[in-house]
Amino acid sequence: MKTLPEKYYLTHFFELVSYIEQTSLHLLSDEQRAKLAAFKRLDEQSQCLLVRVINRKREYVCRADLEYSEITDYDAAFNTLYDEKWLSLAAEAQTPQSLLAELNKAQLQTLATKHDLACPPVKSAKKSVWLAFVAGKFTLLNLSDCDLYTHYFTSHFKQDFTYLLFLYFGKSGGALAQFSMRDLGVMQTNAERAQTNAHFDDYQEAQSAFYFSRLYAELKQMSEQEMVATARVLTDESVMQPVGQLAQVKFDHLCFKLANRVAELNGDLSEALLVQSAHPSAQEKYIRLLYSQGEHTRCKQQIEQILDAPSDEQLLFFAEDFYRLKYTSKRTSALTDVLRNSGPKVSLDEAYKGDVEQGLVNHYARQGINAVHCENMLWRTLFCLSFWYELFEDHRNAFSNEFESTPKCIKENTFYRVFETEIERRLSTFDSNDELLSWLVKQASTHFGTHCRLLHWQPEVLTNVFEFAKQAPVQAVCAHLRAMSKDFKNLKDGYPDLMVFDDGVKFVEVKAPGDSLRRNQLITIQTLIRHGFDVDVQSVEWRVDPQQPYVIVDIETTGGKKEHDKITEIAMIKVQGGDIVEEWQSLINPQRRVPKYITELTGIDNNMVVDSPIFSDIMDKIDAFTKDAIFVAHNVNFDFGFIKAEFARLDRPFRRAKLCTVQLGRKWLPGHASYSLGKICQDLSIPLQGHHRAYNDAAATVALFHLINQKRIEAASE
């Protein structure tokens, strides 16, 4: 079992700080940057203690609760932090009464007894009663002579720490404990795909997102009075308006939730919150409210605004239906026609639930159609390569200070206004696909690898951009690049999932069951259509596709740990339409000795594998054999995990949709005492000779999977 080093909390804190220093110093105030510098000057014991304090969930910490092996001289560390104002006693806090909410009932009773507070509640009264009683007589407490208030302390750095976590995770709720769970192997991360980038462009956006995220998180604990006070703040446009997408999302959701909660307390305030919110449910509720109040003209105007500029798919459908119902008139938008006339649903196996886009890519591939993932990076890369000099080298787009890394005109959304002449001159040179491609290749060759916040230099993205430039309608490309120049803020994201090359280029947004299109997606799709691009919204359903290929895999290994054990044998059987269409198997030289107990189990010994190919010799065959198919195995994470680890050792990714015949067997073939391959095959009369050899086990798994798929198909047809 993995263990953490003694000072892991401090190590993880410095990992957090390192990320902030690399990406997000421009999102800190001068005071916060000074605090980080001062923290580094503290001795290690004081650093350890401070990190332990600020990482506690509660605001106040009791000295008796801070006994950790890495802190060998607690008093010295505490005195240093107290003297340098990192810590303050509860009695010295700006709002010392806030400690009361963190005390238990016995502690509240002790306070009341020690200070002879008159007329206390009965001892059996609830904690909330005792809390209200002590809080009501708080001014009578002598805090300087109160043990609780001299044993509990807090740190002003806790708020800064919470903000640092927010900047790291890009949302509220992140915790230092997630670093620990990662190191222990409890939490899986995507380290190999991670990008070191800031989540926010500038200080104002980060602060706004932090403010509204915290306010939204605190909503559940608010009293009625606090909710009304918060509602008044949110409806006062002179106080603080959201800046940036995350802040806007939290603000809109907060206004909607708060509107529902204060509806009975203050109807006018509730209505004002609905007006403030762009949340689809808030707009729908406001429309219904207007109609119920007899404000039919205003209600109609509100609906027509949605129909003319839809911001959400579900809201659009509601507006159309409500308009038709209340105003006896049918009216639909071009966007609605795209959404509703996108053709029949595509059936995908449930294995693609975690990667529905890849499922559709594979579906197209079986039809001989090339489709690739593109989303936002295609257009961002195209935009940057088209206007690289204007974005990153022209003095008019210089950064405002050393902490910024977003071009000034992009941050201010004034790129076209400042560079209109240069933009139009550049676009005029793109008079053919060859000219467009030539410019993009030249810019990519010149600037490849240059740090840029707006794009990631990924070879596959450049390949997609170049192929797009060869086939896309050039005038449509220029029209959309011009639109991005005029309003990059709203057209930097929301692009369809896939680019499909089928007698030209079209874009496809994939909709899995339960998905709906977000506001920015609708705006972007509508803009692409207006500029002349072919855009589809393709819905999918979870069903067994008869033409879906599956590769049933079994491996034998030198042991059970993929981190250091190796594969000794692999067998792969490709199945399509219920028939076996291809098979492949091989022994593999693990480049280490095969343990005796493994030989006893599998029959594979060192002499059998010594002249066999090593994994790197056959990895291309495995990659090609399993491509565009679903990876199936009995205890799939074992087989898949070993193969993925072998690929990773050779710096190659290995991603496939996967299914497990153990899990599927329990669901579709219930009632068996054991689902081990040997036992389940015996129960179902599936032949299994030479158990624990790769081909024999794979062949038995094929038969088992066939029975399972029959059940899945029958269930889908009912």
Residue 401: pLDDT over 50: no
Give dist(CA 401, CA 202) in Å, integer: 11
pLDDT at 400: 46
DSSP β-ladder status, 534-542 and 505-511: parallel
Residue 198: pLDDT over 60: yes
136 CB-side CA count, 13 A = 11
pLDDT band with cut points at 50, 70 and 90 for residue 677: very high
Give the contacts of 384 (CB within 8 A, at least 6 positions apart): 391, 392, 452, 454, 455
Higher pLDDT, 338 or 706: 706
Residue-wise pLDDT tens digits, 137-172: 888 887 777 777 888 899 999 999 999 999 988 888
Higher pLDDT, 490 or 20: 20
331 with 353, same domain: the answer is no
* Averaged pLDDT, 662-673: 94
pLDDT at 333: 59
- C-alpha dihedral over 680, 685, 688, 692, to 10 degrees? 10
pLDDT at 489: 84
With pLDDT > 70 as the criterion, what percentage of the chain qualifies?
95
CB-based contact 122:80 (threshold 8 Å): no
Residue-wise pLDDT tens digits, 440-482: 999 999 999 887 778 888 889 999 999 999 999 999 999 999 9
Indicate the helix (H) or strand (E) that contains 499: strand 498-501
Count of domains forming the chain = 4
Structure tokens given for 688: 């299994």
pLDDT at 238: 75
Domain assignment present for 197? no
DSSP E strand stretches across 390-442: none
Domain assignment present for 198? no
Q: Tell me the longest C-alpha to C-alpha distance in the chain.
A: 90
pLDDT at 378: 95
Q: What is the model's pTM?
A: 0.62
**Boundary residue ending a domain (292, 321, 340):** 340
Domain assignment present for 194? no
pLDDT at 452: 78
pLDDT at 405: 65
331 with 420, same domain: the answer is no
Catalytic site positions:
692
CB-based contact 630:349 (threshold 8 Å): yes
Domain assignment present for 1? no
Give dist(CA 344, CA 236) in Å, integer: 48
Domain assignment present for 196? no
Give dist(CA 424, CA 416) in Å, integer: 9
401 with 504, same domain: the answer is yes
pLDDT at 397: 80
pLDDT band with cut points at 50, 70 and 90 for residue 404: low
Rounded to 5 degrees, what angle do the CA atoms 447, 648, 356 make?
A: 80
* Averaged pLDDT, 636-647: 95
Higher pLDDT, 642 or 714: 642
pLDDT at 644: 95
Give the contacts of 247 (CB within 8 A, at least 6 positions apart): 205, 208, 209, 211, 212, 213
DSSP β-ladder status, 88-89 and 498-501: unpaired
Indicate the helix (H) or strand (E) that contains 617: helix 615-626
* Averaged pLDDT, 631-646: 95
**Residues 442-463 as b or e (16 or more Cβ within 10 Å = b):** ebbeebeeeebbbbeeeeebbe
pLDDT at 160: 95
Mean pLDDT across the chain, nearest whole number? Answer: 89
Cα-to-chain-centroid distance, residue 338: 28
Domain assignment present for 228? yes
Q: Which of 115-124, 133-142, 191-200 has the lowest mean pLDDT?
A: 191-200
How buried is 53 (Cβ within 10 angstroms: 0-12 exposed, 13-18 middle, 19+ buried)? buried
DSSP E strand stretches across 577-636: 579-587, 630-633
84 with 127, same domain: the answer is yes
**Boundary residue ending a domain (308, 340, 372):** 340
* Averaged pLDDT, 617-634: 95
pLDDT at 462: 94
pLDDT at 403: 38
pLDDT at 271: 94
248 with 123, same domain: the answer is no
**Residues 534-572 as b or e (16 or more Cβ within 10 Å = b):** ebbbbbbebbbbeebbbbbbbbbbbeeebeebbbbbbbb
- Strand order from edge to edge, sheet including 370-373: 346-348, 534-542, 505-511, 498-501, 370-373
336 with 352, same domain: the answer is no
142 with 246, same domain: the answer is no
- The residue segments making up the domain with residue 458 are 347-542
Give dist(CA 646, CA 640) in Å, integer: 10
Residue-wise pLDDT tens digits, 493-505: 899 999 999 989 9
Domain assignment present for 192? no
**Residues 165-194 as b or e (16 or more Cβ within 10 Å = b):** bbbbeeebebebebbbeebeeeeeeeeeee
**CATH no. for residue 665?**
3.30.420.10
Q: Which of 178-192, 330-344, 586-600, 606-620 has the lowest mean pLDDT?
A: 330-344
Q: Which of 320-329, 338-347, 681-690 has the lowest mean pLDDT?
A: 338-347
Residue 334: pLDDT over 60: no
pLDDT at 402: 41
333 with 306, same domain: the answer is yes
Give dist(CA 78, CA 96) in Å, integer: 20
243 with 125, same domain: the answer is no
CB-based contact 496:507 (threshold 8 Å): yes
Residue-wise pLDDT tens digits, 66-90: 888 888 899 999 999 999 999 998 8
Residue 115: pLDDT over 90: no
160 with 208, same domain: the answer is no
CB-based contact 716:543 (threshold 8 Å): yes
Domain assignment present for 50? yes
302 with 382, same domain: the answer is no
pLDDT at 196: 60
Structure tokens given for 613: 């190919």
**Boundary residue ending a domain (340, 373, 396):** 340
369 with 499, same domain: the answer is yes
With pLDDT > 90 as the criterion, what percentage of the chain qualifies?
58
Type of residue found at 500:
V
